[in-house]
Amino acid sequence: MKQPLWERIATHAVLLVASAIALFPLIWVVSASFKNQFDVLSTEIEIIPSEPTLENYEALFNPASATGGYFWNWFGNSVFIAVMTTILSVFLAATAGYALSRYRFRGKRPTTSFFLVSQMFPAVILLVPLFQLLGIQLRLLNTPWALILAYATTAVPFCVLMLRSYFDTLPIELEEAARIDGLGPLGTFWKIVVPLSTPGIAVTAFYAFITAWNEFLFALVFLTQPESFTLPIGVRLFVNQFTQNWGGTMALSVIVTIPVMLFFYVAQRYLISGLSTGGVKG
Amino acid sequence: MRDRMWVAYAFMLPVFVVMAVIVLYPLALSIWSSFTDLSRANQATVFRPGSEQFIGLDNYATILTSEEFRGRLGWTTIWTAVNVFFHFTIGMGLALLLNQKFRGRTAYRLVLMLPWAVPAFVSAVAWRYIFNGEYGALNLMLASFGIDGPNWLSDQFWAYVAPIVVNVWLGVPFMMVALLGGMQSIPQELYEAARVDGATRRQTFWNVTVPQLRSVSVAIILLGIIWTFNLFVVIFLTTGGGPGGRTDILVTESFNLFQAGQLAQAATYSVVILSILLIFVAVYQRAFRTEDVAR
């Protein structure tokens, strides 16, 4: 059944407008990151800068610049925190997700509910006590460890739910066969289930990584010295009530966004099914 | 198998231990401190023990009876409802368009997903730049049509609209991709049967597509509501709660209280937020489950 011409034109028109709206802020960010400090405040719309410059990017590395040139510190902190959060969360969550998917045990329903409820926590509910415990009593302010533990509070439950819903999709027959062949429960999990679940584990791990990579609120509170910042908090140094260094902000934003974007294009399909089945289904 | 129960506990043990230490214990502390007068001035530090006092339900009484809280709850509700409404309807519209066969639809889908792939704090900062009253791109565009744009982030009215625009932009792709996935898993036979029966396209949409998308819609709307209700970065990084703290939602206000050192009130706000969400989710799930049974 061939669509009438006007309908095809209308479809493209709507999608083109929507695409322009989706794209414009991003193009504008990239454009501003290459503008000098005058053009970035210009009152003319210039998508392609008339005098393109790399000064905003160079300033990120320059110790003499207003932000101290801490880029590699921020980058290293971000990577370390996100990697450690991911490893910790996925390791903890894997066996738990498996138990919730395959075993019946007393307390299973309240456990599942607890993981679901933890997705509804407003961040501040744990911020108040964690700041007291980690920041003041354990003196972990300005260290990556405070953030790794803080991020695990949301990443672990999330990974448990994601992995449970992934394990639910695996056929149980292989595991039964392995058990009959004499493999114990842990051996079955480790040698049969984990290798079969690589795609699910990879997406869960990436998601945990990205969530930690993008996190803003806890980092804002736990990190006060510029050399201990993560990339998202670095952005705060550029735009606050005192300065409005938009070029620098945008340059840093571009750098932070690139790895996230790469991941999304690889993982988008798995992510949706994982989120909507794992996140809500009781 | 006889071993099953304790094997399950063994598998759960690491998570139980870690969650108990980093989630349950802090959660209990947080709830406890909402019954005290804990503040930065009297909390325990390495130099002195805490001297906060138990004051019962005073924090709850103060907050729940205050005019300010009710105003903020109202705005948070509007914020959530308007956002999720537009996320869902725009997402549905775009998914319907993308669910047709035509050249270029993969390219459109990739472009339309972009806002989801960008870290929320980057988008918020980018929009703050666009919304700037003097040199922001939005007002420059309006000016080229001869319209004098407002100061989006500090105007009495537009400061409410601007963060909603940002968050609608942010949240549409998730709904769009989820609904598109749902549409693509509807069995083609249903559409053929509808065509054989002579259904119009409108009838097909309401009687085939919509009912088939029901379970995915129920799930993503609930997720959307939870996420939006608790969304911190967008308000914090666009209006920053301004003008005069008016556009702060409950979550950003609880963060402001924390920053101001009013720890007990911050905890109380958080407990109230969590309670509201829990009640809402319970009602929501009951409403949609019972309807399932009725069908």
pLDDT in tens, chain A (282 residues): 567 889 889 999 999 999 999 999 999 999 999 998 888 888 888 888 888 899 889 888 888 877 778 899 999 999 999 999 999 999 999 999 999 999 989 999 999 999 999 989 999 999 999 998 998 888 899 999 999 999 999 999 999 998 998 899 888 888 989 999 999 899 999 999 999 888 889 889 988 998 999 999 999 999 999 899 999 998 877 766 566 788 888 999 999 999 888 877 777 666 655 555 544 443
Nearest to A253 among B122, B169, B281 (CB): B122
Chain B, window 257-276: residues with a beta carbon less than 8 angstroms from a chain A beta carbon: 258-259, 263, 266-267, 269-271, 273-274
Where do the domains of chain B lie? Answer: 66-260
pLDDT for B43 equals 86
pLDDT for B245 equals 87
What residues of A are in contact with residue B236 (Cβ under 8 Å)? 216-217
Nearest to B126 among A18, A29, A123 (CB): A29
Residue A239 has phi, psi (to 5 degrees) of -120, 105
Which residue on chain A is closest to B268 by alpha carbon?
A125
Side chain identity, residue A80: F
Which residues are B50's β-sheet partners?
none
Is the CB of B114 inside 8 Å of chain A's CB atoms?
A: yes
Q: ∠B112-A256-B154 over CA atoms, to 5°?
A: 75
Test A26 with B219 for CB contact under 8 angstroms: no
Which residue on chain B is closest to A240 by alpha carbon?
B237
Chain segment A17-73, per-residue pLDDT in tens: 999 999 999 999 999 999 988 888 888 888 888 888 998 898 888 888 777 788 999
Side-chain-side CA neighbours of residue B262 (13 Å)? 13
What residues of B are in contact with residue A23 (Cβ under 8 Å)? 111, 114
Nearest to A11 among B30, B100, B174 (CB): B100
Nearest to A25 among B127, B141, B285 (CB): B127
Test A18 with B112 for CB contact under 8 angstroms: yes
Test A156 with B273 for CB contact under 8 angstroms: no
What residues of A are in contact with residue B130 (Cβ under 8 Å)? 25, 28
Q: What SS3 class is residue B36?
A: strand
DSSP code for A3 = P
What residues of B are in contact with residue A26 (Cβ under 8 Å)? 114-115, 118, 126
Interface with A, mutate which of B121, B217, B237, B277 (most A CBs under 10 A): B121
In whole angstroms, what is the distance from residue A118 CA to residue B274 CA?
9
Give me the interface pTM, i.e. the ipTM: 0.88
- What pTM, to 2 d.p., does this model score? 0.90
Q: What is the least distance, in Å, from the CA of A173 to any CA of chain B?
A: 15
Query: What ranges in A169-245 are assigned the alpha helix state H?
Result: 173-180, 185-188, 194-196, 198-214, 217-222, 231-238
- In angstroms, the Cα distances linking A140 to A217, B49, B283 are 16, 18, 40
CB pairs under 8 A between A and B: 262
Chain B, window 6-35: residues with a beta carbon less than 8 angstroms from a chain A beta carbon: 7-12, 14-15, 18-19, 22-23, 25-27, 29-30, 33
Residues of each domain in chain A carrying CATH 1.10.3720.10: 71-278
Chain segment B30-80, per-residue pLDDT in tens: 999 999 999 988 888 878 888 888 998 999 999 999 999 999 999 999 999
Q: Which residues of chain B have pLDDT under 70?
A: 1-3, 290-295
Chain B, window 43-62: residues with a beta carbon less than 8 angstroms from a chain A beta carbon: 43-46
Chain B, window 202-231: residues with a beta carbon less than 8 angstroms from a chain A beta carbon: 216, 219-220, 222-223, 226, 230
pLDDT for B248 equals 95
Test A217 with B233 for CB contact under 8 angstroms: yes
Which residue on chain A is closest to B12 by alpha carbon?
A96
pLDDT for A241 equals 57
Residue B36 has phi, psi (to 5 degrees) of -125, 180
Cβ–Cβ under 8 Å, residues A124 and B274: no
Mean pLDDT taken over chain A: 88
pLDDT for B240 equals 87
Q: Which fold has domain A71-278?
A: MetI-like fold (1.10.3720)
What superfamily would CATH give domain B66-260?
A: MetI-like (1.10.3720.10)
pLDDT for B294 equals 40
What residues of B are in contact with residue A92 (Cβ under 8 Å)? 14-15, 18
Q: What is the dihedral of CA B288, B290, B292, B295, to 10 degrees?
A: -130
Residue B243, preceding bond cis, omega within 30 degrees? yes
For B231, counting Cβ atoms within 10 Å of its Cβ (0-12 exposed, 13-18 middle, 19+ buried), the class is buried
Smallest Cα–Cα separation from B284: which of A122, A109, A278, A282? A282
Which residue on chain B is closest to A119 by alpha carbon?
B226
